[in-house]
Structure 1
């Protein structure tokens, strides 16, 4: 049996994101209770990871630690340890790198996604970034670094090579496209990431990779990633449509659709225990 066929595929659900509102999509889960209910349904549909966003009283994006703790508590009541809970540190034009890192230090989540452009811009305090990465290692937090475009590889590789990000390889998330009105990602968008010279020259920089995509072709992008040995983040954060163009009734419907594709491609679907192993960096 090939290594490809043996490696389970992670299906991560991103149920709400930072921008969509319930006025835009009534099925969007926002409250801790709604998120817990959606987490349970997505677990049963095949998800092993939930990518968590919380909102303020007006429905806006928030990195408030108290709100995170409340949502995590409700999700844990619903699913126990059967989902890996990954919080976002996304800036959304509101939070700077210091605020993002402060949230992680206070919350000490199980896992966190960190955009290289946001926490490690050229102007960042590299000593602080290095200390933050050391903190995550000591606290056993699982980081996933986000690349918004293939050119982000160069900055990421440089930081690892100089030991600012200490370790040899990390889980990465490739974002196929931008958050713009009417954005529709394409499976072709994945090729630029996989053909990046830095990745060809230093494959160990990436312990594993996942993609997220925008619009109706999200599932097609996910299946391309799964077929090429990657993993997929799926959900209302970036897409609310099924492959036939109709509106999904829930995030679980999108996960179920993807799970069927994963099995057709000959890969098993990861559970949370496997996802935790796969998303552990090579510190």
Structure 2
């Protein structure tokens, strides 16, 4: 399992488009150029989405293969992670099919999407074990404490195998109904810490709005990793709209180093 980089850029996402921000990359070429700028700014890898010809969210296998190959060609040694996000367009079976067919080195899968109910647990368990056996690292996405509690339960009962796990915490929401607040991070990670030395968690956090920067700085202080970019937030710390993804990375790197944090 390759460790998560300190800073991972999420430049695209499943929802926003050019109408939201003209610098949001949609095509493969735009994603490549964005990653080049973000790597220069200090990002250690990318959380990648692909889009269909009409700009909508896609889990198309061939497009993913093309994007991953281009990223690995242009950024040797860089951390490349893809998403299996359903985004209301796909279901758990579609997600499992993508992961098994693409066989990526790293992929995200939300607990609530991949295991929506008890009936989905056997298929999810089979996928989690297959991924372990085939060197596919699944980063488990938790949107709230309920997701976290389910994740811990799956680890304890063997649904998710092993003792080393990558976790993505989501703090806040797109619509602002849940505000991203640094003080909410410690309660979110407490269930992982409570397992002590029995499990090893490589955890990362993303946040929304102008609060993104302070939440990510607190995450780094607590020993976590930061996912930053236009998938989650378009805003700088002062509330201004960022020029592009690279500007978001630049701000975080600058502030972290000024605080004595290694990034």
Which range, TM-score by smaller chain?
A: over 0.9
| Matched-pair contact (CA < 8 Å) for 2:10–2:48 | yes
Moved segments of 4+, more than 4 Å? 181-184
Q: Secondary structure at the match of 2:12?
A: coil
Q: Structure 1: give runs of 5+ residues left out of the alignment.
A: 1-6, 270-283
**Per the alignment, do residues 96 and 102 of structure 1 end up closer, same or farther by CA in structure 2, a change over 3 Å counting?**
same
Q: Structure 2: give runs of 5+ residues left out of the alignment.
A: none
**Per the alignment, do residues 61 and 9 of structure 1 end up closer, same or farther by CA in structure 2, a change over 3 Å counting?**
closer
Do residues 135 (structure 1) and 133 (structure 2) align?
A: no
Q: With a CA cutoff of 8 Å and minimum separation of 6, indicate the structure with the bigger relative contact order.
A: 1
**Per the alignment, do residues 33 and 245 of structure 1 end up closer, same or farther by CA in structure 2, a change over 3 Å counting?**
same
Do residues 38 (structure 1) and 31 (structure 2) align?
A: no
Give the drift of 1:130.
2.0
Do residues 175 (structure 1) and 170 (structure 2) align?
A: yes
Pick one of 42, 49, 54 that aligns with 2:50.
54
| Matched-pair contact (CA < 8 Å) for 2:5–2:45 | no
Give the drift of 1:45.
0.9
Do residues 97 (structure 1) and 92 (structure 2) align?
A: yes
RMSD (Å) for aligned C-alpha atoms: 1.9
User: Cα deviations across residues 35-84 of structure 1 (Å, max 9, x unaligned)?
Assistant: 00111111111111200011111111111111111222222332222x21
Give the drift of 1:200.
4.3
| Matched-pair contact (CA < 8 Å) for 2:144–2:188 | yes
Paired position in structure 2 for 1:221: 215
**Per the alignment, do residues 124 and 67 of structure 1 end up closer, same or farther by CA in structure 2, a change over 3 Å counting?**
farther
Give the drift of 1:127.
2.7
Paired position in structure 1 for 2:15: 19
Q: Secondary structure at the match of 1:266?
A: coil
Pick one of 67, 72, 84 that aligns with 2:68.
72
TM-score by length of 1: 0.86
Do residues 254 (structure 1) and 248 (structure 2) align?
A: yes
